[in-house]
Amino acid sequence: MKTDKKILIIGGGTAGWLTALYLTKTFPQHHITLMESKPIGILGAGEGSTPHLTSFLHMLDVDLQELLKECKGTIKQGISFENWNGDGQKYFHPFAVHNEYKHFSIDNLFSYDSYDYYLKHLIHKKMPLKDHTYASIQSYKNVVDTNNIDTSIHFDAHLLADYLKKITKVDKHIYDEIKTTKQDEHGNITKINDIECDLVFDCTGFRRELIGKLYKSEWKSYQDCLPIKRAIPFFLPPEDKPYTQAIAMKYGWVWKIPLQHRCGAGYIFDSDYITDEEAFAEAKEMFPNIEYTRTIKFDAGRFKQTWIKNCIAVGLSSGFTEPLEATSIWMATEQLKLLETFIDVMFTNDEDTKKDYNEVIANNNDMVMEFLHYHYMTKRDDSPFWKEFKKKNVLAKFNAKLEQIQKGNLRWYHTTGGKLTSTFNLMSWLHVGEGQGLIKDISIEGYENLNPTVEEYGRHLPR
């Protein structure tokens, strides 16, 4: 039996259809309408993800095998960071491992789940993580292992939106654009065009029609910490790799995502230093056969409030850091899952409780922003971009953390934000810190009794 509650989703990109899929499965009792605009279309960029997307889809009973087939997808086991110190070297940021590849204890202290100490032992012994961690070794050998690695997927962005549309049964699906918006005396949206609504999801991408233009939520810019603001996407021939490549360039970096029929790639750069033409020329030096398609412009940042009155922004409409580490769709799924904690205020004017929702979402994004900023602490100095980036001392809180990291004092609480929110865990911080050469040494004093030892464990690693 349906209630009389009407939910309206504006936007039919990945965020809009993920929202629709989630709502139709979680709140089937409400009427759900999705409106999208054919002439505006979808962004169609963003083809990498994290294991949070696969577990989200799994939770919603999506057939991942079918999805991979229809979206020409491939399995992703992590990201290979290449040339970030300008020395031609690479390091791997793998997704988590489980089963026998995860279990370590520190005798007498921790009886299980001490994988972070395994990584610390490796760093202490100057044994490169990429050569001594299961997911990195297998990935660089192009071996896919969905049994022992928390895998995710690469996909064609347009095909994913089409697939989600096909499997999601909304009550009404309309092709139209927002023309008129009606609000009640409290400021809640009651009608968009002629569609009545009690709750609206703004999934309008970079246009941010409701949360930005209508409600004028305050913008928090991340540009000082994440100065990259343009992307030129292009296609490359397909490759058989179970990972994304992130290749550092003079003014930013190139992403390379292997799909079944092509690699989706693009140069993402700081346009304060180079023009689109110069950026494309730099990319063409590396990939001579590429063709120019378009330039995507964006501002790294987020809205301070992503839930205002009866409007919740999900996806790019709520903010965007940048493509490094493929976090945007992950953050969208976090926004949706968090709703379960706020069901009691979904249809009320309880602005106080919504403040908590906004704070958690803001903290999640700030934690991601810090982690991405961390990747730019490289030794590259082959352009004014890299030289000046290092001199910018903008994030006082982060710099204090970085100092601790460089001293080898990285601990779990460094990876949490306010309200104990956490995005990237200690393992991720260790992988990137070691890979970038930021962590010179790390103390294992008092934690020597690792079981198994790195040598014993090493005997079981594939070579």
Ligand X SMILES: Cc1cc2nc3c(=O)[nH]c(=O)nc-3n(C[C@H](O)[C@H](O)[C@H](O)COP(=O)(O)OP(=O)(O)OC[C@H]3O[C@@H](n4cnc5c(N)ncnc54)[C@H](O)[C@@H]3O)c2cc1C
CB of 231 to ligand X, least distance (A): 4
Q: Are 457 and 118 in contact (CB under 8 A)?
A: yes
Cis peptide before 452 (omega within 30 of 0): yes
CB of 57 to ligand X, least distance (A): 13
Binding string, 337-356, against ligand X, x = CB under 6 A? Answer: --------------------
- Should residue 205 be labelled a site residue for ligand X when binding is judged by CB under 6 A? yes
**With 0-12 CB in 10 A as exposed, 13-18 as middle and 19+ as buried, what is 206?**
middle
First to last CA, the chain: 58
DSSP at 421:
-
Stretch that binds ligand X, among 35-43, 133-141, 404-412, 450-458 (CB under 6 A): 35-43
Residues 6 or more apart in contact with residue 288 via CB below 8 angstroms = none
The SS3 call for residue 220 is strand
Q: Are 129 and 430 in contact (CB under 8 A)?
A: yes
Nearer to ligand X, 275 or 453 (CB): 275
- Should residue 48 be labelled a site residue for ligand X when binding is judged by CB under 6 A? yes
- Should residue 33 be labelled a site residue for ligand X when binding is judged by CB under 6 A? no
Paired sense of beta strands 199-202 and 195-196, if any: unpaired
Residue of 21, 35, 106, 430 interacting with ligand X (CB under 6 A) = 35
Binding string, 316-335, against ligand X, x = CB under 6 A? Answer: xx-----x--x-xx------
- Should residue 252 be labelled a site residue for ligand X when binding is judged by CB under 6 A? no
- Should residue 207 be labelled a site residue for ligand X when binding is judged by CB under 6 A? yes
Residue of 51, 212, 242, 315 interacting with ligand X (CB under 6 A) = 315
CB of 70 to ligand X, least distance (A): 17
Q: Are 431 and 119 in contact (CB under 8 A)?
A: yes
Stretch that binds ligand X, among 106-114, 200-208, 302-310, 349-357 (CB under 6 A): 200-208
> How far apart are the C-alpha atoms of 170 and 159, rounded to whole Å?
19
192 beta partners: 181, 195
> How far apart are the C-alpha atoms of 150 and 422, rounded to whole Å?
18
Residue of 84, 155, 234, 298 interacting with ligand X (CB under 6 A) = 298
- Residues of the shown chain interacting with ligand X in the complex, contacts defined by CB under 6 A: 10-16, 35-37, 40-43, 45-49, 157, 177-178, 203-205, 207, 209, 231, 266, 268, 296, 298, 315-317, 323, 326, 328-329
